[in-house]
Amino acid sequence: MSTKRKIRILVAKPGLDGHDRGAKVVARALADAGYEVIYTGLHQTPDMIAAAAVQEAVDLVGLSIMSGAHMTLFPAVQKALEKRGVSDLPIFGGGIVPEEDKAALLEGGVDALFTPGTTTTEIIDWIEANVRPKVEG
């Protein structure tokens, strides 16, 4: 019996901005890389994201934030995940995050941030290096 794990990733857009092109491009690239991507669409509250992450038993949560509310939304999602009993889930982010905020978020437990200019290959390389070992381990 084959026991090769398939990596599952939740891609979500928390908050109020309506620009999901970036999230869709990333979702598509991740699916093309062989991952299963659960895409939940726009205007997700942190608790909606956490509930989906739990029910879908994902390995990784990707958040796309363009609204400037990243300093609020990332911690809110982390807190919601903790509340639903999955505090150890890796989180990555994409969107517009100023350099000075980046350090604070990474310090606060966000695992990676990919800002404009990042290629999807970089994201996939990061997943292979940082998430794959945990999933198969």
Partner 1 sequence: MVAVGRVEDVLAGTVVRAARLMRDLDDQIPGALEELKALYPHTGGAFIVGVTGNPGSGKSTIVDCLIAQYREAGLRVGVVAIDPSSPYSGGAILGDRIRMQRHATDDSVFIRSLATRGHLGGLSRSTQDIITVMDAMGHDVIIVETVGVGQDEVDVVSTAHTSVVVVVPGLGDEIQAIKAGILEIADILVVNKADRDGADRTVADLSMMLDLRAKGAKTVRILKAVAIKEGGMVELVEAVDLHRRELDSETEGRRRGLERAETRLKDLVRTLALERALALLESGDGLSALVERIAEREIDPYSAAEQVLAELMGNP
Nearer Cβ to partner 1, position 36 or 101?
A: 36
- Residue 85 CA to residue 107 CA, distance in Å, equals 21
User: Which positions from 86 through 105 interact with partner 1, judged by CB under 8 A?
Assistant: 86
Tell me: does residue 123 bind partner 1 (CB under 8 A): no
5: contact with partner 1 by CB under 8 A: yes
Q: Does residue number 124 form part of the binding site for partner 1 (CB under 8 A)?
A: no
Q: Does 4 bind partner 1 (CB under 8 A)?
A: yes
Alpha helices for 38-118 (secondary structure H): 46-55, 70-83, 99-107
List C-alpha distances in Å: 87 to 53, 61, 103, 129.
Answer: 11, 12, 20, 21
Task: Determine the distance from the C-alpha atom of residue 133 to the mean position of all C-alpha atoms in its chain, rounded to a whole number.
Answer: 17
Is the separation of the CB atoms in 30 and 124 below 8 Å? yes
Q: Are 135 and 7 in contact (CB under 8 A)?
A: yes
Query: x/- string (CB under 8 A) for partner 1, residues 16-55?
Result: -----------xx-xxxxxxxxxxxx--xx-xx--xx-xx
Q: Which is nearer to partner 1, 80 or 105 (CB)?
A: 80
Interface residues toward partner 1, by CB under 8 A: 1-6, 8, 27-28, 30-41, 44-45, 47-48, 51-52, 54-57, 84-86
